[in-house]
Structure 1
Amino acid sequence: MTAATQDIILQVTGLGKRFGGVDAVANVDLDVYRHETLAIIGPNGAGKTTFYNLLSGRMHPSSGRIVYEGRDITGMPPHEISRLGISRSFQINNIFEEMTVRENVEVAVTALRGEGRRWHNVASRNRDVQADADALLERLSLSELADQRAGVISYGDKRLVEIAVVLATRPKLVLLDEPTAGMTPDETQRVMQLVKSLGQSGDYTFLITEHDMNVVFGLADRILVMHRGQKLVLGTPEEVRAHPEVRRAYLGTADEEMAP
């Protein structure tokens, strides 16, 4: 991504969140460029989850501003932020396990259309809803699971269904929270290839929190390292891997800990 093509989709200025006398997030500045994949890493307690909660509207900041596509969204509720084009996945599966895989995606499609309260009747009669859901399942290679109950599929497939639900809201900016946590190596590779493919499509911008450094260095265009609620380093994977403060504060001093 060259300087000429950089287009800021999200601008965070002086963002902070204080709980009592503790700063969970402190004075963070960040520009996110359209169509990039930006990974956010840091040790437990670094402020990553709180930062996500602020961006998605689940928490109100104590200070600072969040501007999305030129619009100030600071303090907006989550449903309004989602409708503007920012969607988030969670560390824990957030799907309806008693429904089929297709029905889970249809819920999100109908909610996007403002028909969430009567989603089942709408989905069962609306061929456009069904077509949108099936197209998304095909894109994520989940078509064979469409009629299976979500509660009985594998853990890795459940995470993919959650990503499908997120994408069904037609976001421009996708926040993925530990997307490969608990996965087998094969499942992790599948998610990595999916995110890489979606990123290369030009349809999405990704923010990813992740503890697996192979995933981080394999996917990220840039990496933000947080430490004690603050921005420690922001740069390319090569810059972050070589940074002495990152080695000491998070990645460790052994070269093998930083290998992509």
Structure 2
Amino acid sequence: METLLETRNLSITFGEHQILQDLNIKIPKGKFISIIGPNGAGKTTLFNLLSGQNKPTKGEILFKGKNITKLPIASRARLGIGRSFQLTNIFPELTALENVRISVQSTKKDLYNMFPNIRNYRGQLDEARKLLEIVFLQEKEEVLAKNLSHGDKRKLEIAMLLALKPQLLLLDEPTAGISIEEVPAILEVIKKIKSNPKHTIILIEHKMDMVLHLSDELIVLFNGELLAKGEPQMIMKDERVQSAYLGGKSHVKS
């Protein structure tokens, strides 16, 4: 199976604290991978390294076989890496449709054209509407983003992310901060995205029922190291994983 993303001895240290140490993982193309682990395991730090927010102290990141370790965020996005955050990142004073249209426009050649072609503009609107349908927001395209519920804001952010046509989606706790009632709607959006074979997804999420329902594989981090990797049912039966979550050991290595 083709590897889309790979890390080799990926490590990062902040001061005297080793956050990730010699992490070696391979993400197969077209798979849904969830990263789990107790608080402080290094999950969000790993996302920061993959998306380019942080630079590693040691090691390499390869995307489609290309070394991207030193590339900035924008360059990685152009290659096809997209990331959502725990906090929504939208334009509150614009409608849902305009938020997505701007994301669509950012991928076009006439991005900085002061006099855009009206046909191109309409095409961008059509594309934006299709993306709103994917996240079930087609009925709210004229609602200002600031007036959307928190769950709908999360869905809007996902639509904006999809507008960039990423091959790899990094979803950082998409249900963080939303009400219990809105979680099923987010789950349906993610399931719909997963159904597209062009998408490879890496998810960080604490809701284990959601993780087990969606994931092809789990990666378990503990104390900044890879503890286990494999199919969900196998991983959840692993005594090392159970020990890490229950705090039965102070340090475990795979």
Q: With structure 2 as the length reference, what TM-score do the two structures score? A: 0.92
Aligned mate of 2:30, from 26, 35, 52: 35
Q: Quick one: distance in 1 between partners of 2:56 and 2:44?
A: 13
Indicate the residue corresponding to 2:58 in structure 1.
Answer: 63
Contact 2:136 2:189 in 1 (8 A): no
Contact 2:21 2:224 in 1 (8 A): yes
Query: Any gaps of 5 or more consecutive residues in structure 1?
Result: 1-5, 254-260
Give 1:69 shift.
Answer: 0.8
Give 1:119 shift.
Answer: 8.8
Tell me whether 1:169 sits opposite 2:164 in the alignment: yes
Give 1:139 shift.
Answer: 1.9
Give 1:52 shift.
Answer: 0.3
Q: Whose helix proportion is higher, 1 or 2?
A: 1
Indicate the residue corresponding to 1:113 in structure 2.
Answer: 108
Tell me whether 1:188 sits opposite 2:183 in the alignment: yes
Gap change, CA 1:37 and 1:141, over 3 Å in 2? same
Q: Which amino acid aligns with 1:65?
A: E
RMSD: 2.0
Q: 1:88-103 residue pairs with structure 2 within 5 A?
A: 88-103=83-98
Aligned mate of 1:152, from 131, 147, 152: 147
Q: Quick one: distance in 2 between partners of 1:189 and 1:13?
A: 36
Q: Quick one: distance in 2 between partners of 1:141 and 1:94?
A: 18
Give 1:197 shift.
Answer: 2.1
Contact 2:134 2:192 in 1 (8 A): no
Contact 1:110 1:122 in 2 (8 A): no
Give 1:203 shift.
Answer: 2.3
Indicate the residue corresponding to 1:73 in structure 2.
Answer: 68
Indicate the residue corresponding to 1:258 in structure 2.
Answer: none
Q: Residues 66-101 of structure 1, C-alpha deviation per residue, up to 9 Å, x if partnerless?
A: 111111111210000000000000000111111110
Gap change, CA 1:118 and 1:107, over 3 Å in 2? farther
Aligned residues: 248
Indicate the residue corresponding to 1:247 in structure 2.
Answer: 242
Contact 1:110 1:123 in 2 (8 A): no
Contact 1:246 1:252 in 2 (8 A): no
Contact 1:100 1:146 in 2 (8 A): yes
Of 155-164 and 19-28, the range deviating more from structure 2: 19-28
Task: Tell me the SS of whatever aligns to 1:112.
Answer: coil
Q: Which amino acid aligns with 1:173?
A: L
Give 1:9 shift.
Answer: 0.7
Contact 2:155 2:189 in 1 (8 A): no
Indicate the residue corresponding to 1:197 in structure 2.
Answer: 192
Q: Which amino acid aligns with 1:182?
A: G
Q: Residues 9-44 of structure 1, C-alpha deviation per residue, up to 9 Å, x if partnerless?
A: 111111111111211111101110111110011111
Q: Which amino acid aligns with 1:75?
A: K
Q: Which amino acid aligns with 1:232?
A: L
Q: Residues 159-180 of structure 1, C-alpha deviation per residue, up to 9 Å, x if partnerless?
A: 0000001100000100000001
Q: With structure 1 as the length reference, what TM-score do the two structures score? A: 0.90
Query: Any gaps of 5 or more consecutive residues in structure 2?
Result: 249-254
Q: Residues 205-225 of structure 1, C-alpha deviation per residue, up to 9 Å, x if partnerless?
A: 100001111111111110111
Q: Which amino acid aligns with 1:248?
A: S
Q: Residues 92-148 of structure 1, C-alpha deviation per residue, up to 9 Å, x if partnerless?
A: 011111111011111211112255556996789711211111111122221111111
Contact 1:224 1:234 in 2 (8 A): yes
Indicate the residue corresponding to 1:178 in structure 2.
Answer: 173
- Sequence identity percentage: 37
Q: Quick one: distance in 2 between partners of 1:180 and 1:167?
A: 17
Indicate the residue corresponding to 1:208 in structure 2.
Answer: 203
Contact 2:218 2:231 in 1 (8 A): yes
Q: Which amino acid aligns with 2:40?
A: G
